[in-house]
Structure 1
Amino acid sequence: MHRFLKVFLVAGSLLAACAPPVLAQPQTRVPGSEAEIRLTFAPLVKRVAPAVVNIYTRRVERVAQTSPLMNDPFFRQFFGNLSPQGQPRERIARSLGSGVIIEPDGVIVTNNHVIDGATEIVVALADRREFEAKVVAADPHVDLAVLRIDTKGEKLPHLEFRDSDDIEVGDLVVAIGDPFGVGQTVTQGIISGLGRTGIGDLDAQSYIQTDAAINPGNSGGALVTMDGKLAGINSAIFTKSGGSIGIGFAIPANLVSSTVASALAGKGIKRPWFGAQGETVTFELARSLGLDRPGGVLINAVYRGGPADRAGLKAGDVVLTVDGREVNDPRALKFRISTRRLGETVKLDVIREGRHFDLTVALVEAPETPPRDLTQLQGNQPLAGATVGNLSPAFAEEIGTDTLDRGVIIVKVADGSPADRLNIQPGDRLVKVNGKTIEAVSGLQKLLASADRWSLVLKRGSQQYTLNVRL
C-alpha cells in the first residue's frame, strides 16, 4: 500500500498560521538489532507446519474406450454417425490434496472435493509416515470432510481454531499445503477480503479472501494467522491460467469448527435449520422499502412451525444482522446460521415497516416430516423407472434443494426407462398429474395407475413445464 502526502505551500504569514499542521514525513531507518535483521516466519512455520498433511486418494472410474480410427473422417464415412465410444473400461484415478490435523488423536479436516468418491485415502504426515484414513463424515454442500487416522495412542501436532469473526482485512497469514505435489510449501500474504460470496455453487458461503499463493494441491490446507491458529481451510482460487494470481479463498474456521463438532458427535453432519428464505436487498428494493441503503436479506417465505416462524419472523421483514454480523445476501445469512450448533440461539436485527427490533431464534435440526417414503415407480405409465420421495426439510437439506419446498421430488431415474426417455431428471419436483396437485408419494401412485393418458406438470429449478403423454 502506498501513502501519498500532498503538501500545499501558501504565501503569507496569516494563511500559514491558520493552516493545519503539516504531517511529519515518516522516518526510515536501518534495522537496529539482530532480531530485526532476521525478521522471519520460520518460528511460526516450524510450530504449525507439522499439523498440515498431504492426502493421496485413488478411485476407480469407468470410462468409455475410444477408437482413434473413429476420429478420422475417412473411416467415419463408412460407419456413418456411429458413436466412437466403445465398451466402458475401468481405470484408477489418483488425486492429491492437503489436510489439517485438528485433534491430537488423528482427526483431520480437508475439502470434500479432495476425497469425494475415493476408494482409498492415504494421509502422509510431515515426518513422511503414512496412514490409511477413514471418512468420519463429509458435507458436499460446504465442501468439507472430516477424516480419522489410527495413531495407536500417539498424540500428533495439531492446530487450534481461530475465531474467524475476529479476523480483519490486512491481517498477515500464511498458507500451507502441497501445491502440484512438489512437497509441503508455505506462502505468505494478507487477508484481502471477508464475507466473499458467489464463489462456485456451494450452499453456505462467506469465504476469506487472501493473496497468499494457493495452487492446485493446496485444497484442504491451512490458512494460519500469526498466533499460529487455523483461520480457514484453503479451498478455491480465481484463475485464468490454472495457477495462482493472488486471489484465493478459504472456508472460515468458525464454519469448519461447527462441521467438525457435528461430525464427531457420531450422527453425520447436522446443521441448524433456520426455516426461512429470502433475497438480497438491492438498491431498487431498498428504495421501495424505505431503507437508506442496500443491505440485508428480504424474507419472502417462512416455513410454518419452523424456528424462524416460532421466533416471530414474517415475510416482508428485512434481516440486517445475525448476532451483530451483517448479512448482505441469502448465502451469507445461511453461513451465519451454519456456524452455530444445534440447540444454540441467534439474535437477529430486523426491520419491519421501518421499525427496528430484535428476534431470538432457537436453532434445531431440520425435521423429516413427512417421511421420505422412497419408492421406485413401475408399471405402464410415463414415470416408470423413476425413484420418488416426499420432501421434508431434512430430506431437502440432504439432497441440496430448497428446504421450504413440499411435495414429491424425483430422486433417481433408471437409464432407458420411460421416465428417462421423457427426459425426467433427478431434482424435478412433481406439481400436478392430470390437474390434481401432488402432495405425497402414495397419492401419486394412485393417480398414475388410474389413467391411460397423463398431463404432468413438473418444476425444474425456477421453471415449470408440462408433459402430455399417452403410451
Structure 2
Amino acid sequence: MTAHFTRISAAALFAGMALTMQPALAADRVVPGSDAELQYSYAPLVKQTAPAVVNVYAERMVTRRMSPLFSDPFFGQFFGQQMPGRSEKQTSLGSGVIVEKNGTIITNNHVIAGADDVRVALADGREFPCTVLLKDDRYDLAVLKIDSDEDFPTIPIGDSDAVEVGDLSLAIGNPFAVGQTVTSGIISGLARNSITDGEFGFFLQTDAAINPGNSGGALLDMQGELIGINTAIFSKGGGSNGIGFAIPANMVKVFLAAADRGDERFQRPYVGATFGPVTSDMAEALGLKAARGAIISAVRDASPAEKAGLQPGSVITAVNGVPVEHPDALLYRLTVIGIGEKADLTVERDGKASHVALPLGLAPEDPPRDTRTIDGNSPFSGLTVENISPRVVEELRLPDISDGVVVAEVEAGSPAARIGFSRGDVIVAVNGTEIDTTGTLEDQAAASPGLWRLSINRGGRMINQIFR
C-alpha cells in the first residue's frame, strides 16, 4: 500500500497545556522536569487548559447527484429523502484553540472550508455561533471569533523557533472519535516541506501519535505553550505511524495579527524573485559547503529583490542569522518577520558571503487592476477581469506572467461559464489583437466579428480556441 499524507479532520475536543504550573490543581502531582521525574503526571497541565479548547462544527449544504433512473416516481417512493439529487446538510467536525480572551480561535482551514454555518462547543458544554474572520487554504489556517462579549480562557502562543529536535511535546485530541486522548512524544524534525498540496512548506514533525480527529488541535511544549497546530499525518492506512506534522506557532502569530488588523486576505511579503533548491551538483559548482539554501533563478524588474541587489545564481543561506534549508524555509522566514519589516539575508556568490537588507512590503498594484465586468453578446459575457500586477498575481496565485488580463470571477450560467472560462485564466489575444488592458478586452467584446479566435494562458499552458 502506497504511503500518503493526510490532512486530519473529525469530531474532536482538544485540551491544551497549562499557562503555568499551579500546585493547587493537584498537590500530589507535578509536571516532569527531568528523566527521573517521568513517573509523575501531565494531568495538571491538561486540566488547566481544557476550557480553552473547543469543538468546531462546520455545516454546509450539498447536493447529491441524481441518476436519471431515480427521476422515476416509482423509485422515489422507495428512496424518499435519500434520493440522489436532493440538497442535504453535511457537518464536518474538528477542533480549535482559543488564543485571545475575546473568543478568537485558531483552527485549520480545511475544518471550516465551504461552510455555511460555523459553531463551537466549549469544554463546559456551552455552544456559540462563530464568525470566520480570516482563512487561507495555502497555509491551512483559519481564524474564528465566538459571537459573545464574555471573556474566555486562553492558551498562550509560544516561540516555535525555540523548539529543538528532541524536545518533549504533547498532542491532545479525539482520534477516531473514541474520546479525549493525550499522546506524548518528541519533536522529530524541523522545517519539513512537501507535506501537503498547499503552498505552505514548513512544518514541525513529531512522533506523538496523531490520528484523524486531531485536526486543528494543539501541539504543546512542557511550558504549556502552543508550539504548533496539528495538520497532517504520514500514513499508509489512515492511522498514526508516528509521523505527524504541525504548522509552527510563529506562523500562527502573523496569521492572527492579520485577522486582528481586519485584513480580508492573508498576504505574504513581496520579494519579486523566484527560488529553487540547491542540489549537490549546484553546491559543488558554487563552492558551497552543503546542498542547502535557496538559489535565485530569476529577479523581476523594479522589484524589492532587484533594488536590494539580488542576482540570479546567488544563494540565500540564512535570514536574520537563521539558516534556511530550502526555498520553502526561506519564504516561511520572510513571512513570519512580517510586512513592514526588513530581513537580513545572508547571500553567497562566487565563494563569498555578504549581507543584504531586504524591505518586506506588499506586492504593488501596478498597473491598477481596473476591474471590469463584461456583458453583451460575446464569449466573454459574464467575466469579471483585471489587469495583471504583482498584487493580482499573488492574490490569484498565477504563474509569474505579465501579458494579458486575468479572469477574476465567472458568473454562473453566463456565456463565459458555458464556454468553460475559469478563474485565473489569462486572456492574451482576441482575433490577433493583443489584450494588454481590461479596456482593450471590453472593446474587443463589443465587436461582432462572427468568428472569435482566442489565446488563453491557463496555468502556464497556452490554449487557442475558435468560437462562432
- Report the TM-score, using the length of structure 1 for normalisation: 0.82
Match of 1:432 among 423, 429, 432: 429
Deviations 1:119-149 (A, max 9, x none): 2222112222222211121122211111111
CA distance in 1, matches of 2:371, 2:177: 43
The corresponding residue for 1:62 is 63
2:124 alignment partner in structure 1: 127
Could you give the per-residue CA deviations for residues 256-301 of structure 1, whole angstroms, max 9, x where no partner exists?
A: 0110011101223343222222222223333444444322222223
| Pairwise CA distance, 1:421 | 5.3
1:409 aligned partner, one-letter code:
V
8 Å CA contact 2:398–2:459 kept in 1: the answer is no
For 1:426 and 1:227, the matched residues in 2 are separated by: 46
Give the Å deviation of 1:425. Answer: 2.9
Determine the C-alpha separation between the residues in 2 that align with 1:135 and 1:425: 26
Aligned counterpart for 2:438 among listed residues 438, 441, 447: 441
Q: How big is the alpha-carbon RMSD for the aligned residues of Structure 1 and Structure 2? A: 2.8
Relative to structure 1, is the Cα distance of residues 282 and 37 closer, same or farther in structure 2, using a 3 angstrom cutoff? closer
If asked which structure has higher relative contact order (CA below 8 Å, sep 6+), I would say: 2
Distance 1:406 1:51, change over 3 A: farther
Distance in 2 (alpha carbons) for counterparts of 1:431 and 1:322 = 38
Q: Give the distance between the partners of 2:269 and 2:180, measured in 1 at CA.
A: 36
Contact 1:52 1:176 in 2 (8 A): no
Shift of the 416–53 alpha-carbon distance from structure 1 to 2, 3 Å rule, reads: closer
Q: What's 1:399 paired with?
A: 396
SS of 1:198's partner is: coil
Is the Cα contact below 8 Å between 1:386 and 1:412 reproduced in 2?
yes
Instruction: Identify the residue that residue 180 of structure 1 maps to in structure 2.
Output: 176
Change (3 A) 1:37 1:418: closer
Cα gap change, 1:437/1:347 in structure 2, threshold over 3 Å: closer, same or farther? Answer: farther
Question: 3-state SS of the aligned residue for 1:337?
Answer: helix
Equivalence for 1:47: 48
Is 1:459 the counterpart of 2:457? The answer is yes
Query: Against the structure 1 CA distance between its residues 185 and 66, is the aligned structure 2 distance closer, same or farther, given a 3 Å change threshold?
Result: farther
The CA deviation string for residues 215-271 of structure 1, in whole angstroms up to 9 with x for no partner, is: 222111000001111110011112222222221110000000110011101223343
Q: Percent identity?
A: 46
Superposed displacement of residue 114, structure 1: 0.8
Residues 407-431 of structure 1: CA deviation (Å, up to 9, x unaligned) = 4122344556554555443222223
- SS in structure 2 opposite 1:308? helix
User: For residues 348 and 464 of structure 2, what CA distance do their matches in structure 1 show?
Assistant: 40
| Closer, same or farther: CA 414–147 of 1 in aligned 2, 3 Å | closer
Q: Could you tell me which amino acid in structure 2 is paired with residue 166 of structure 1?
A: A
The residue type paired with residue 122 of structure 1 is R
CA contact (8 A) 1:99 1:108 kept: yes
Alignment of 1:274-289 (within 5 A): 274-289=271-286
Structure 2 matches for 1:278-427, cutoff 5 A?
278-402=275-399, 405=402, 407-414=404-411, 419-420=416-417, 422-427=419-424
1:111-260 paired onto structure 2 within 5 Å: 111-154=108-151, 156-260=152-256
Extract unaligned runs of 5+ from structure 1. Answer: 1-32, 76-85
Higher mean alpha-carbon deviation, 450-459 vs 142-151, is at 450-459
Give the structure 2 partner of residue 3 of structure 1: none
Question: In structure 2, the residue corresponding to 1:238 is in which secondary structure?
Answer: strand
Deviation at 1:65, TM superposition (A): 2.6
Structure 1 CA distance for aligned equivalents of residues 293 and 432 of structure 2: 39
User: In structure 2, do the counterparts of structure 1 residues 180 and 56 end up closer, same or farther at CA, with 3 Å as the change threshold?
Assistant: farther
1:47 alignment partner, SS class: helix
> How far apart are the structure 2 equivalents of 1:297 and 1:454?
44
Partner amino acid, structure 2, of 1:220: G
Q: 1:275·1:403 contact (CA, 8 Å) conserved in 2?
A: no
TM-superposed deviation, 1:69? 6.5
Q: What is the distance in 2 between the residues matched to 1:126 and 1:313?
A: 52
Q: Secondary structure of 2:47's match? A: helix
Task: Report the AA paired with residue 66 of structure 2.
Answer: Q
Q: Quick check: 2:283–2:289 contact (8 Å CA) kept in 1?
A: yes
- Contact map agreement 2:101 2:154 (CA 8 A) in 1: yes
Task: Judge conservation of contact 2:70–2:84 (CA < 8 Å) in 1.
Answer: no
Instruction: In structure 2, give the amino acid aligned to 1:239.
Output: S
Structure 1 residue 207: Cα displacement: 0.6
Kindly state the Cα deviation for residue 402 of structure 1 after the two structures are TM-superposed. 4.1
Matched, 1:90 2:90: no
Q: What amino acid is aligned across from residue 251 of structure 2 in structure 1?
A: L
Q: Is this contact kept in 1: 2:403–2:428, CA < 8 A?
A: no
8 Å contact from structure 1 (residues 96, 181) kept in 2: no
In structure 2, distance between residues paired with 1:331 and 1:377: 38
In structure 2, the residue corresponding to 1:343 is in which secondary structure? coil
> In 2, distance between residues paired with 1:245 and 1:293?
30
Return closer, same or farther for 1:455/1:320 CA change in 2, 3 Å cut-off.
Answer: farther
Note the C-alpha offset of 1:339: 1.1
The answer to whether the Cα contact below 8 Å between 2:267 and 2:362 also exists between their aligned partners in 1 is yes
8 Å Cα contact 1:98-1:178 kept in structure 2: no
CA drift of 1:326 comes to: 2.8
**Partner-residue secondary structure (3-state), 1:411:** strand
Task: State the alpha-carbon separation in 2 of the partners of residues 245 and 320 from structure 1.
Answer: 32
Which sections of structure 2, spanning at least 5 residues, go unmatched?
Answer: 1-33, 73-82
Q: CA, structure 1 residues 423+367, in 2 after alignment: closer, same or farther (shift >3 Å)?
A: same
CA distance in structure 2 between the partners assigned to 1:349 and 1:335 by the alignment: 15
Per the TM alignment, residue 439 of structure 1 is displaced from its structure 2 partner at its CA by 2.3
Report the Cα distance in structure 2 between the residues aligned to 1:289 and 1:456, rounded to whole angstroms: 44
Matches within 5 A, 1:263-274: 263-268=259-264, 269-274=266-271
The reply to whether residue 103 of structure 1 matches residue 104 of structure 2 is no
Kept in 2, the 8 Å contact 1:368–1:393? The answer is yes
- Which amino acid counterpart does residue 358 of structure 2 have in structure 1? V
Query: Structure 1 pair 428/330, CA: closer, same or farther in 2 (3 Å)?
Result: farther
SS in 2 for 1:256: helix
